[in-house]
Amino acid sequence: MECLKLEFDVDGENFSSAGNASESVKRTLKQIGVPPASVRRVAIAMYEGEINMVIHAHGGKAEVDIYPDRAEIWLKDRGPGIANIDLAMKEGYSTASDNIRSLGFGAGMGLPNMKKYSDEMKIDSTVGVGTTVFLRINF
């Protein structure tokens, strides 16, 4: 089925612009009439993904496909990769630096929150190559 495709560059190491992509997606979803609760789930899941890319991977790309009944999001980076995905999925586990934690990020809730707010989540990661997180959120 035909879908609405959006693409964003996520600027690495810039906390103030992190969230720009999810903000744009949020606006688009509202303008096409996606229910508020679904907009919120997309926004939160995607925002967490963006922040992750900024903290761990010097940015990357976000691709969003919007269908009448769902959004599919790919967050692609060329960062260090995730060595142990099961561990990374644990609430409170984080490899973020103290520096980043002092900014209020890196609480180890990014991936768990992305899972919580999405209907499907897949992580494809190779150490030294990069990570792609896929999220599906049904409306």
Partner 1 sequence: MDKTLKTVVLDSDKCIGCITCMRRCPTEAIRIVNGKAKILYDKCINCGECVRSCKGGAKRPVYDSFELVASYKYKIALPSPSLFGQFNHLDNPNYVIEGLLALGFDDVFEVGLAAELVTDCSKKLMEKGDLVRPVISTACPAVAELILLKFHELADHMLPIYAPAKVAAKLAKSRALEAGIPADDIGIFFISPCPAKVYSLHKEEVSNEKYISGVLSQSDVYFRLVEKMNKIETPRDLGKCGHFGIGWGSSGGESNSLGLGNYIHCSGVRNVLGVLTEMSDGKLEGADFVELNMCPGGCVGGVLNVENPFIARNRMRQLAEKMKTPPATMEEFGLDEKFFLWDKAPEPSTSFRLDEDMFAAMKKMMQVEEYLKELPGIDCGMCGAPTCRCFAEDAVIAGVVPDCVKLKERKKE
Under the binding rule (CB under 8 A), the answer on residue 114 touching partner 1 is: no
Determine the number of helices (DSSP H) and then strands (DSSP E) in the chain: 5, 5
| Candidate residues 22, 52, 125, 131; the one interacting with partner 1 per rule CB under 8 A | 22
133 and 81 in contact (C-beta within 8 Å)?
no
Amino acid in the structure at residue 129: V
Measured CA to CA, the distance from residue 83 to residue 126 in angstroms comes to 8
Subset of 73-92 contacting partner 1 (CB under 8 A): none
Amino acid in the structure at residue 76: K
Site string for partner 1, 36-65 (x = CB under 8 A): xx-xx--xx--x------------------
Under the binding rule (CB under 8 A), the answer on residue 16 touching partner 1 is: no
Under the binding rule (CB under 8 A), the answer on residue 20 touching partner 1 is: no
Counting Cα atoms < 13 Å in the Cβ hemisphere of 43 gives 15
Least separation in angstroms between residue 96's CB and partner 1 is 17
Rounded to 5 degrees, φ, ψ at 37 are -65, -35
Q: Which stretch binds partner 1 (CB under 8 A): 8-16, 24-32, 90-98, 121-129?
A: 24-32
Measured CA to CA, the distance from residue 66 to residue 3 in angstroms comes to 6
Under the binding rule (CB under 8 A), the answer on residue 34 touching partner 1 is: yes
Give the residues lining the site for partner 1 (CB under 8 A).
Answer: 2, 4-6, 19, 22-23, 26, 28, 30-34, 36-37, 39-40, 43-44, 47, 66, 68, 113
